[in-house]
């Protein structure tokens, strides 16, 4: 029997729906202020977004970022978090924070991690001593972090695993662990616990898990276990299947998604929230995200290119000085990105702005009920209007929700 529904510290205000696709626009009211949906959440792993100060992230318009429970649990540690009063104070961040459970890092980063019914057993990266992360400990850590949205500990395995029995076990265990997380959660009146739907690429397992998770009535719902190397067609089928079974008045979070095409298609499939380290990580390799694709500014072709990173971009880097910007050119990035941290810093500013602004444009298009046209223009610009280059997975997924990318 499912536990009694917990209190909610959020309000989901649905503002508009696309008349063709499953896209939605909403405002998510959280303890540290309202958040416009759909949203991309930058990942500040250790209470710090690599390459940006909290003020700079705030100036970009970010109102919800992600911290990592595993890393914060190691350093500064739970005692320090309790002493300072949580991650908001630790990083001087006045807006909302979402934390993951730490389970994914345990399984993906650590050698010899073993999942049992009790939790995840692993060896300490500091001294090699045996350690155990249970659902209760994960929630306790997140209670100390004080994040506005906390995630259940789930049993994560690669979507590409051929072991269906293990996939089913992981799905069923994730449901049982959610019940333990609900029981352990100390502050439901100020922190929102999201469940995580598992089941790999098996749509029947996903349907079964979705039914169980929805019955627990958590404030929000995540679709997990994706972005792990699976085919994009399979990814889209899972997202489409799950969103079709979820309650309308709750936020839907697809974990680990950050490529612009993936964001635009996933919104059309009914998802609201996304996170990924890619935009900031790729900046450190000299890559700029633009509406016409990713530019590798370490390439010598840009050595004498004195255009902004992206023309008409309104980020601080690209804006002319007359408009209060830095007027940074591609040539400048080329010359500093290999030797100086300044290049990575500037590209991080640009890439985060691109992602957040993309979601602002997405939201605006939904509210004005022109999202199908927006999607066509997005793909047209990205692929220079060469429809033969459009990815087949995107064409198929969008056709399933009423948008024909190939039509005029």
Instruction: State the CB neighbour count (10 A cutoff) for residue 336.
Output: 18
Q: Which two tokens stand for residue 316?
A: 């601080």
HEC-encoded secondary structure of 183-237: HHCCCCCCCEEEEEECCCCCHHHHHHHHHHHHHHCCCEEEECCCCCCCCHHHHHH
> What average pLDDT score do residues 165-171 get?
96
Q: What is the pTM of this model?
A: 0.95
- In the chain the first and final C-alpha atoms are separated, in Å, by 52
Among 21-30, 154-163, 343-352, 376-385, the minimum mean pLDDT is found in: 154-163
For residue range 343-378, what is the model confidence (pLDDT) as tens digits?
A: 999 999 999 999 999 999 999 999 999 999 999 999
Q: What is the tens place of the pLDDT at every residue in 216-268? A: 999 999 999 998 889 999 999 999 999 999 999 999 999 999 999 999 999 99
- Parallel/antiparallel/unpaired status of strands 130-133 and 287-290: unpaired
Report the CATH number of the 26-99+138-271 domain.
3.20.20.105
Catalytic residues: 100, 275
State pLDDT tens for residues 75-108.
899 999 999 999 999 999 999 999 998 777 766 6
Q: Domain residues of the chain, as ranges?
A: 26-99+138-271, 282-367, 375-408
Q: What is the pLDDT of residues 96-153, one digit of tens each?
A: 999 998 777 766 665 678 899 999 988 777 777 888 899 999 999 999 999 999 999 9
Per-residue DSSP letter, 4: P
CA distance 40 to 355: 7
């Amino acid at each position: 029997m499912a536990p009694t529904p917990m209190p909610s510290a959020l309000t989901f205000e649905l503002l508009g729906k696309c008349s063709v696709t499953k896209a939605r626009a909403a405002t998510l009211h959280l303890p540290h202020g309202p958040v416009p949906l759909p949203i991309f959440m930058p990942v500040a792993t250790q209470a710090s977004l690599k390459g940006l100060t909290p003020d700079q992230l705030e100036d970009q318009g970010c109102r919800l970022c992600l911290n990592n429970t595993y890393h914060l649990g190691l350093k500064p540690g739970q005692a320090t978090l309790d002493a300072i009063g949580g991650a908001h104070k630790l990083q001087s961040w006045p807006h909302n924070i979402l934390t993951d459970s730490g389970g994914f890092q345990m399984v993906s980063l650590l050698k010899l991690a073993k999942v049992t019914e009790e939790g995840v057993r692993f060896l300490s990266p500091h001294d090699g001593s045996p350690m155990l992360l249970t659902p209760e400990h994960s929630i306790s850590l997140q209670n100390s972090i004080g994040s506005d949205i906390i995630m259940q500990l789930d049993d994560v395995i690669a979507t590409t695993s051929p072991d269906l029995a293990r996939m089913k076990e992981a799905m069923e265990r994730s449901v049982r662990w959610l019940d333990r997380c609900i029981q352990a959660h100390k502050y439901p009146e100020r922190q929102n616990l999201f469940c995580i739907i598992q089941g790999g690429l098996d749509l029947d397992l996903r349907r079964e898990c979705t039914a169980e998770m929805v019955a627990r009535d958590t404030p929000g719902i995540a679709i997990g276990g994706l972005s792990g190397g699976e085919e994009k067609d399979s990814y889209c089928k899972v997202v489409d299947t799950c969103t079709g079974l979820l309650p309308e008045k709750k936020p839907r979070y697809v974990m680990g998604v950050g490529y612009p095409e993936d964001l635009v298609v996933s919104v059309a499939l009914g998802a609201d929230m996304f996170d990924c380290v890619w935009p900031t990580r790729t900046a450190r390799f000299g890559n700029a995200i633009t509406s016409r694709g990713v530019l590798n500014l370490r390439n010598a072709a840009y050595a004498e290119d004195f255009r902004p990173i992206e023309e008409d971009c309104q980020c601080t880097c690209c804006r002319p000085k007359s408009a209060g910007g830095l007027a940074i050119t591609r040539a400048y990035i080329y010359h500093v990105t290999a030797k100086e941290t300044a290049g990575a810093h500037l590209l991080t500013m640009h890439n985060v702005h691109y992602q957040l602004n993309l979601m602002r444009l997405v939201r605006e298009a939904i509210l004005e009920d022109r999202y199908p046209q927006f999607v066509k223009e997005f793909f047209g610009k990205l692929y220079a209007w060469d429809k033969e280059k459009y990815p087949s997975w995107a064409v198929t997924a969008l056709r399933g929700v009423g948008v024909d990318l190939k039509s005029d």
